Chain A
Amino acid sequence: GDSVTQMEGPVTLSEEAFLTINCTYTATGYPSLFWYVQYPGEGLQLLLKATKADDKGSNKGFEATYRKETTSFHLEKGSVQVSDSAVYFCALSDIAGGTSYGKLTFGQGTILTVHP
């Protein structure tokens, strides 16, 4: 079945440092890929998405590129802020073209802590 693997955490960075969170996936067909963020006490929020190979999703300074050849979707940000401290989840949908039908497969999450 489909699966998503994220780098082990937690990740601790100083403000303005460069962030990379690795994500690789296993899926049949051509899934769509997502990054969600979960702040303490809040629900998951969609951060960015990519629906086909070589697509780059971006939002709030975060970026991730859909790499079909390496089955990866690594999250990057050039300069993190304290307010970026949260749990980040990589996820895929089993329907191509961005339609998820509500069923997402998530990775285990990576805790990011940014210190001033």
Chain B
Amino acid sequence: DAGVTQSPTHLIKTRGQQVTLRCSPKSGHDTVSWYQQALGQGPQFIFQYYEEEERQRGNFPDRFSGHQFPNYSSELNVNALLLGDSALYLCASSFGLAVRPTLSGANVLTFGAGSRLTVL
């Protein structure tokens, strides 16, 4: 059973460029959340998609945008890249808009291994 898969695993961009990161949720999950994890920091919530709509958003500028497709996969787009956008971008999937994390496996917020973005 494949978990959350993210691509690419690593990429390097220069300031001002645009980047697209992709995420396939765990089988059976329909909700995708994106997090940014700077080096040595905890993840910060960017936004969440459910039923192809952005449902919640963290404190990130409009340069960060996303999309969810009918098959529940998702993309994170970042425009006009800044040096400070260098980070590990984590995708997490879950079932339904209300997530009840359990240890039995049902409705657990499942994270991918991330895409590491370096902006030069």
| A42-B113, A46-B108 known; A99+B45 contact, CB < 8 A | no
Contacts of A89 in B (CB 8 A): 42-43
CB of A102 within 8 A of CB of B103, answer: no
In the complex, chain A residues 58-116 whose Cβ is within 8 Å of any chain B Cβ:
59, 89, 91, 95, 98-109
CB of A4 within 8 A of CB of B42, answer: yes
CB of A101 within 8 A of CB of B42, answer: no
- C-alpha spacing A104/B58, complex, angstroms: 10
CB of B42 within 8 A of CB of A98, answer: no
CB of B109 within 8 A of CB of A100, answer: yes
Main DSSP-derived SS at the B contact region: loop
Interchain nearest-CB distance for B92 vs A (Å): 7
CB of B101 within 8 A of CB of A46, answer: yes
- C-alpha spacing A41/B109, complex, angstroms: 18
A residues sitting closer than 8 Å to B (CB atoms) are 4, 32, 34, 41-46, 48-49, 59, 89, 91, 95, 98-109
